[in-house]
A and B are shown apart, each in its own frame.
Chain A
Amino acid sequence: MAVNVHIHKVYRPFTEGLETVVVEGHTVAECLKNLVEKYPDIKRVLFATNGELLKNIDLYINHESAYPEELTKSVSQGDDIYIHLLLTGG
């Protein structure tokens, strides 16, 4: 099903400047996999070498946090996945 992935501003160079990329998938993992298939360079800023989501990536589905399920979380037709940055400290 078609899902909109909203790309963080600093990562838009990896998607040819696009803020939103429409992908296919039933889970967050499938959607991000499809995103990487379309724009392979974005893989290294989203995923560690072991395939886990990088710890500075903060995902939202329709403005609700995807944590802790994150990659295994289901999505529906027309959902919006937001890629934000997790900033820590303070």
Chain B
Amino acid sequence: MDHSVLRVDLTEGKITKQTLASEIVHEYIGGIGIGVRIVYDEVPPGVDALDPENRLVFSVSPLTGTAVPGACRYHVVGKSPQTLFTLSVSDSGGFWGPELKSAGYDTIILQGAAQAPVYLWITETSVEIRDAKSLWGMDTFETEDVICEMLGDKRIRVAAIGPAGETLSRLACIENDKGHIAGRGGFGAVMGSKNVKAIAVRGKGRAPVKDRERLHGLVKFWKEAGIETSLHKWGTGASLERYHDQGILPVKNLTTNQFDVDKLTGQYIRTKYKLKHKPCYGCFMHHVNTVEVTEGPYKGFVGEEPEYELLAGFGSNLGIDDAGAVAAIGEKCDRLGMDAIGVAWAVSLAMEAYEKKLLTKAELDGLDLTWGNAEAVLSIMEKMARREGLGDILSEGPAIAAERIGSDALNYVVTTRKNMSPKCLDLRGLPGRSLSFMAASSGPTTEHSPGLHGGAPDEELGFPEGIDMRATTGHAEALRKGGFRKVFVDSCAVCDFVIPPPKLTNLLDMYEAVTGHRLAFDEAMTIGERILNVQRCFNIKQGLTPEDDDLSERLLTAPADGPAKGISVRPHLKGMLHEYYQLMGWDHKTGKPLRHTLKRLGLNKEMHDMWGGRS
């Protein structure tokens, strides 16, 4: 399989086309895998995330742009300005990834920094670095529209940063296709530090497929399986009410677990609002629509249907009970180019600090940042993106913001010790998810979301009875295996939502139909394990220690009410982490992958880097 790489040296203004060695592709596939490999090889310790020598790698896979449902994602990998020192990974859907593939490229590497704002314009026949001074200052949606207009083609796909990326906010994201976000990791700031406003792509090529007839049959099965899901029927907001009833929905910065979610659920939105389908490339899932809000203070607003993370993060977590308000806040966040999850936790920190008088109205430039005040949230987000007033502090992310606010803020903040906040859940009732987020090599990004989904039986991972999500045992093995599988899925750059169980088995069938290459189950799991270990080694080289695999005080403190009242995961987490290290073949004292683990995975360079001696 050829894997085509576009290397853009922004300092020199030089563009090089390369083909990756086939053994790299066999061992890392694409997506997160290729990104992690490149960043490990090219970003040495001591290089700051916003230094020109950081790399920003955009990568798709052999499945991208084919008829494989959900094969629309692209992964972004680099050293993260949000975590300050780890490698991080972010990914997004929409159409940009398949368009890149159609243009004939699988990976883009950004290195160096341009002298003035630029954008990249990539087609099958040319790659140009163009002047973007007129685009600087525009929000992400405007940037997409203006570039399409300038280049005279509405079908161009654009990945862009907004004002937050330009001001190097640690919460800055990369946005494409009017609301698809590579949110985690702060990579919008990395792009901003390189003076890259956008990457525009247009291609007409067709992704190669070995066995189209077989692929068609498999797609049919996936489609039929996917339609009978809550996701198809109600979107990701379907689970909101259940999460609230289970005590795992975040409410007001985890100060309580009681909230009226009636008007926030996916069921409510899809029943009350006007909907227009807005699929990603090749996807039948219907998990997102364009909505028109039909009631409340934001009646008439037209924008993207808010997903779970927004409904939880900007809804219950900020004391806002109106999905229309959440939709408006979500679009603003996307346009400004910020990570909704990070912003949600930063704002909820500020709201609690304001409630408890650690922050004054004067410090908030007159904003009454009380729970439920959606207009105040819109205003503070604008200040965050432009680094104005307290927005400058909040723009550093919740962890640093808590340090700078000082006093008890450090006890309020919801974050991992790697400075990245977790998904919008109240983890305190979920020991397995707590372990997942604290152990995640890159901060709690997607690669450590798994374990077993909701505790469901997972025969292919060896859990035929499932796992009790509230239990304090058994999660380390679920996380290990679930992590390997998830990372392999991400190396294929396929949306996790669309793959029916048994996930890996089904994905490998698709992989064979597209590439002609049959990967055994164990081979795929080893690829996932390899990628995870390269990530881990990168972080160790950059200074990670076991103390960084931890959570903030708020996440270790028992809930005050709700189904998990009085239950703290704190007594159990160190033991669970110890077990995870052991199963992963990592050293307890240093957190380093052990020599024999790295040797087994063929990671000789990493073995030398971790343990010295001859590779």
Contact of B308 (CB < 8 Å), options: A10, A44, A89: A89
- State whether B465 touches A88 (Cβ < 8 A): no
What is the bound-complex CA distance between A63 and B231, given in angstroms? 15
What is the bound-complex CA distance between A86 and B466, given in angstroms? 15
Stretch touching chain A among B35-43, B202-210, B447-455:
B447-455
Which chain A residues lie closer than 8 Å to B370 at the CB level?
none
- State whether A89 touches B497 (Cβ < 8 A): yes
Contact of B228 (CB < 8 Å), options: A45, A85, A88: A85
Task: Report if A9-B221 is in contact (Cβ < 8 Å); known contacts: A86-B230, A87-B229, A89-B449.
Answer: yes
Q: With an 8 A cutoff between CB atoms, is B3 at the interface?
A: no
Task: Report if A44-B228 is in contact (Cβ < 8 Å); known contacts: A49-B465, A55-B469, A89-B308.
Answer: no
**Shortest Cβ distance from A84 into chain B, in angstroms?**
5
Contact of B242 (CB < 8 Å), options: A8, A49, A67: A67
Which chain A residues lie closer than 8 Å to B309 at the CB level?
90
Interface 0/1 of B17-58, CB less than 8 Å to A: 000000000000000000000000000000000000000000
Q: With an 8 A cutoff between CB atoms, is B233 at the interface?
A: yes
In B211-245, which residues have CB < 8 Å from any A CB?
A: 221, 224-225, 228-231, 233, 235-236, 238-239, 241-243, 245
Q: With an 8 A cutoff between CB atoms, is A56 at the interface?
A: yes
Most A Cβ at <10 Å: residue of B233, B245, B309 = B233
- State whether B233 touches A84 (Cβ < 8 A): yes
Interface 0/1 of A25-58, CB less than 8 Å to B: 0000000000000000000110011000011101
Which chain A residues lie closer than 8 Å to B243 at the CB level?
88
Which chain B residues lie closer than 8 Å to A55 at the CB level?
242, 246, 454-456, 469
What is the bound-complex CA distance between A8 and B468, given in angstroms? 23
- State whether A54 touches B221 (Cβ < 8 A): no
What is the bound-complex CA distance between A86 and B231, given in angstroms? 7
Which chain A residues lie closer than 8 Å to B497 at the CB level?
87, 89-90
Q: With an 8 A cutoff between CB atoms, is B500 at the interface?
A: yes
What is the bound-complex CA distance between A55 and B308, given in angstroms? 17
Q: With an 8 A cutoff between CB atoms, is B287 at the interface?
A: yes
What is the bound-complex CA distance between A8 and B232, given in angstroms? 14
In B363-377, which residues have CB < 8 Å from any A CB?
A: none
What is the bound-complex CA distance between A38 and B449, given in angstroms? 36
- State whether A88 touches B241 (Cβ < 8 A): no
What is the bound-complex CA distance between A10 and B229, given in angstroms? 11
Q: With an 8 A cutoff between CB atoms, is B464 at the interface?
A: yes
How many of chain B's residues have a CB under 8 angstroms from any CB in A?
A: 38
Residue on B with the closest CB to A83? B228
**Shortest Cβ distance from B120 into chain A, in angstroms?**
29
Most A Cβ at <10 Å: residue of B236, B238, B449, B469 = B238
- State whether A54 touches B456 (Cβ < 8 A): yes
Residue on B with the closest CB to A68? B245
- State whether B229 touches A9 (Cβ < 8 A): no
Which chain A residues lie closer than 8 Å to B242 at the CB level?
55, 67, 86
Q: With an 8 A cutoff between CB atoms, is B585 at the interface?
A: no
Q: With an 8 A cutoff between CB atoms, is B457 at the interface?
A: yes
**Shortest Cβ distance from A43 into chain B, in angstroms?**
10
- State whether B229 touches A84 (Cβ < 8 A): yes
Interface residues of A, Cβ cutoff 8 Å to B: 8-10, 44-45, 48-49, 54-56, 58, 65, 67-68, 82-90
Interface residues of B, Cβ cutoff 8 Å to A: 221, 224-225, 228-231, 233, 235-236, 238-239, 241-243, 245-246, 267, 287, 307-309, 423, 449, 453-457, 464-466, 468-469, 496-497, 500-501
21 A-B pairs (CB sep. < 8 Å):
A9-B224, A9-B228, A45-B456, A48-B455, A48-B466, A48-B468, A49-B465, A55-B469, A56-B456, A67-B241, A67-B242, A84-B228, A86-B242, A87-B236, A87-B453, A88-B236, A88-B243, A88-B454, A89-B236, A89-B423, A90-B231
Question: What 10 pairs across the A-B complex have the smallest Cβ distances?
Answer: A90-B236, A56-B456, A87-B231, A55-B454, A56-B454, A90-B307, A88-B239, A9-B225, A85-B229, A86-B230
- Besides A55-B469, A56-B454, A87-B497, 4 other A-B contacts (C-beta < 8 A): A54-B456, A84-B229, A86-B242, A90-B231
